[in-house]
């Protein structure tokens, strides 16, 4: 191994005592490849197993916690105990190759397609449509439904424990339900669940409390609870970096095991809410990195780029598209073959890279998403 990449392969011990064998995380990536009944498919298992030998931790694509939380076609479910055997297969496929397996838990909120949820009942914090093309106006959740939703996240965490996962990641990013409650764009409530930035924190913090209580009650060994967040929103009104600091400080006080930034570009600068020209990752690491391990992500392909990213002080680095293109990324760095890391696909690569058909079709058809030659 080239010594200048040694930081990528150092182990990390989380606050709860779980040891990650290196600093590389497989990022959660939507693949739309599960069975129609919501169970994990064989193709999906093969896809994860192919990428789990190198990374220290693998975070799955998001699974929905209630029937009205489904956000995509081909998404796997964890909304009922009948799915525990399916989840167990997924955890085992990842762990059999040496990585820690983390289940990302989610509800799509106002971004759920109406035809994907029972009776087309799309819900959110408030009856405010997103600004995405084709968005519909959701129904605002009643207070008792919010309490029930919090419990459903706890129920899914119990299923993750029973299925043998090493942890869960709370998906509070990318405009989905948890972020909608924190967002001044999506949350216009005037009760205990909305209003000031502190009141908009009520739902995500209640989720953390519920999930940590479930872990304390059901886990027989240390169990990871991470949180993914988007640091800003483009909308006005929308989440600013200043508001994100309030969220991160509150999460750190809950002794969360890690905080995972959701970004397309690692070095992107903030839009508003802070007078600082550094990247969002650097600003967030300075703010919170001495209290909670931070996972950075976004547009990292080569070992050189990864090592530079680690110089910001972040604890972990997530690779998404790059581990699809190059499943042996970590192994090549470890064996001094970093020059052999592939950074693009060809149209003949699907079988060799063990990519399920639905994901492969998205890769080929969505121009610019992946570098395809």
Owner of token pair 């005037």 = 190
**Separation between Cα atoms, residue 77 and residue 38, nearest integer Å:** 5
**DSSP character for 220?**
S
Q: Are 259 and 318 in contact (CB under 8 A)?
A: no
Angle at 364 between CA 362 and CA 366, to 5 degrees: 60
Query: Is position 227 annotated as part of the catalytic site?
Result: no
| Nearest residue to 262 via CA among 228, 227, 238 | 228
Strands of 234-290, DSSP E: 258-261
Q: Which neighbouring-strand residues pair with 139?
A: 123
> For the chain, how long is the longest CA-to-CA vector?
57
Active-site residue, from 48, 176, 227, 258: 176
Q: 243-277: string of b/e by CB count within 10 Å (b at 16+)?
A: bbbbbbebbbeeebbbbbbbbeebbeebeebbeee
The C-alpha atoms of residue 94 and residue 6 are separated, in whole angstroms, by 24
User: 363 burial class (0-12, 13-18, 19+ CB within 10 angstroms)?
Assistant: buried
- Catalytic residue annotation: 176
């Amino acid at each position: 191994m080239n010594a200048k990449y040694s930081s990528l392969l150092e182990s990390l011990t989380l606050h709860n005592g779980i040891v990650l064998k290196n600093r590389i995380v497989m990022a959660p990536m939507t693949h739309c490849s599960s069975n129609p009944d919501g169970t994990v498919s064989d193709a999906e298992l093969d896809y994860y197993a192919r990428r789990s030998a190198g990374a220290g931790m693998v975070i799955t694509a998001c699974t929905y916690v209630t029937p009205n939380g489904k956000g995509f076609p081909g998404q796997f479910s964890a909304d009922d105990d009948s799915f525990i055997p399916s989840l167990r297969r997924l955890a085992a496929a990842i762990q059999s190759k040496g990585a820690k397996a983390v289940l990302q838990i989610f509800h799509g909120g106002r971004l759920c397609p109406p035809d994907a949820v029972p009776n087309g009942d799309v819900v959110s914090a408030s009856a405010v449509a997103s600004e995405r093309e084709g968005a519909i106006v959701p129904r605002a959740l009643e207070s008792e439904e919010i309490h029930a939703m919090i419990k459903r996240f706890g129920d899914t965490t119990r299923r993750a424990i029973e299925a043998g996962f090493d942890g869960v990641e709370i998906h509070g990013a990318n405009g989905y339900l948890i972020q909608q409650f924190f967002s001044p764009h999506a949350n216009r409530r005037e009760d205990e669940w909305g209003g000031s930035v502190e009141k908009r924190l009520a739902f995500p913090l209640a989720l953390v409390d519920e999930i940590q209580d479930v872990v304390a009650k059901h886990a027989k060994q240390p169990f990871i609870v991470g949180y993914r967040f988007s640091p800003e929103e483009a909308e006005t009104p929308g989440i600013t970096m200043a508001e994100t600091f309030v969220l991160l400080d509150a999460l750190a006080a809950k002794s969360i095991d890690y905080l995972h930034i959701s970004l397309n570009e690692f070095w992107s600068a903030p839009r508003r809410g802070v007078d600082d020209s550094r990247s969002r990752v650097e600003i967030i690491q300075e703010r919170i990195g001495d209290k909670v391990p931070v996972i950075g992500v976004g547009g990292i392909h080569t070992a050189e780029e990864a090592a530079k990213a680690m110089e910001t002080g972040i604890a972990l680095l997530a690779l998404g598209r790059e581990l699809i293109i190059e499943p042996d990324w970590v192994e090549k760095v470890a064996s001094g073959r970093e020059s052999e890391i592939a950074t693009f696909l060809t149209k003949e690569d699907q079988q060799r890279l063990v990519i399920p058909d639905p994901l492969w079709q998205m890769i080929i058809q969505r121009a610019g998403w992946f570098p395809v030659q």
